[in-house]
Amino acid sequence: MKFEIFELERNQSLFENEVDYNLSESGVHPLALTEILTKEEQQEILNTELFYGYTNGTPQLRRRIAEMYGDFFSAHNVLITSGSAEANFLSVMTQLEAGDELIYMVPNYPQILGLARSFGIILKELPIREELGWQWDLDELKAMVTKKTKMIAVCNPNNPTGAVMSDYVMNGVIAISREADCWLLSDEVYRGAELNGVECRSFAGATDKTVVNAGLSKAYSLPGLRLGWSVGSEEYVNRAWSFHDYTVINVAYLSDWVASKIMTYDRRMKILNRTKEHLNHNLDMLCKWAEGVSDLTVTRPQAAAITFARLNIDMLSEDFVYQLRDNFSVLLTAGKWHGLEGFVRIGYGTPADYVQGGLERIADFLNSL
């Protein structure tokens, strides 16, 4: 089996530590353990023995994740994974086979797209429409469904646009997936990073075949823990767990330990409030900067630490990113890598002075053109 190059991740991994300003990052600037653990917990972690732990995640952590999605869920509905990336991988591995059809939202984080093509799954890309506020046209979705449709995959809040799916569209997606009796996969890793501070509605429990994947890397500012989860039926969780035994077996014991401490309601809301304040401050700065930049159109997102900026110049998104990187030492991601040409993604979740420095370099680059 041959896997295609994951262009977005490869370009980030090769250059994000080599440039002066990495604005390709899509999460909020990471927290330190001293910011999220009490002094007693900090001391306790130093004396913690490094067991393997539970392969599906500790019962305490799984219960706390389940509580986020309502009384309908229990620890049996949760599988702890090595980041949301593993959760997405397991969803494709366990439910799709070569020849199955997958309807996939674009633009998007292209992990599932690349996996599907590598596995011989028939990929049907359905764009969200800028003129609809980055929403799906439900008539287009319904017309795309066939008897071979095995899964509909969405990302909400969306990467890279930062759009939140409306209730009307969400209800339509649920109805269409239920009528087609197909899997509904929702990547919700940005849930909690809403700029108004109100967590958007989750797809969790929408149908018997709904799977929600998320993690601590974006809204929770803890990418280094590499901790994610899947929420679904007990049948799905048990099947995904059986594949999880072949991937990473279990997440790092310390990651599970830390997450178990901080995922109580009060402590996680403290982190999410910090996220909201930081992102709103930086986004105001970004939008003010964009007022004087005619070569880019920045649309204010509803969530996440990213904005999808339209290129108003005659240049392909990859060329824009490469020239900016090589000549001005600023890294962005190209719209092409997300499935939509003519845009670049700008991350603004890093410290404000860092973001400002990167924006000034982008302006210099545009002036040089």
Residue 353 has pLDDT above 90, yes or no: yes
Cα–Cα dist 305/186, whole Å: 19
Residue 3 pLDDT: 85
Residue 344 pLDDT: 98
Residue range 256-270, pLDDT digits in tens? 999 999 999 999 999
Domains parsed from the chain with CATH numbers: 7-32+268-368 (3.90.1150.10), 50-264 (3.40.640.10)
Say what angle helices 352-368 and 317-328 make with each other, to 10 degrees: 110
Residue 2 pLDDT: 83
Residue 38 has pLDDT above 80, yes or no: yes
pLDDT-derived band of residue 362, with 50, 70 and 90 as boundaries?
A: very high
Residue range 123-165, pLDDT digits in tens? 999 999 999 999 999 999 999 999 999 999 999 999 999 999 9
Q: What is the CA radius of gyration of the chain?
A: 20
Residue range 53-86, pLDDT digits in tens? 999 999 999 999 999 999 999 999 999 999 999 9
pLDDT-derived band of residue 1, with 50, 70 and 90 as boundaries?
A: confident
pLDDT-derived band of residue 4, with 50, 70 and 90 as boundaries?
A: confident
In total, the chain counts a number of residues equal to 369
Q: Going by C-beta distance under 8 Å and a sequence separation of 6 or more, which residues neighbour residue 362?
A: 293, 296, 324, 328, 330, 332, 346
Average pLDDT, the chain: 97
Residue 35 has pLDDT above 80, yes or no: yes
**Ordered DSSP codes for 123-149:** EEEEEPBGGGTSB--HHHHHHH--TTE
Q: Is the dihedral of CA 340, 346, 348, 351 positive or negative?
A: positive
Residue 237 pLDDT: 98
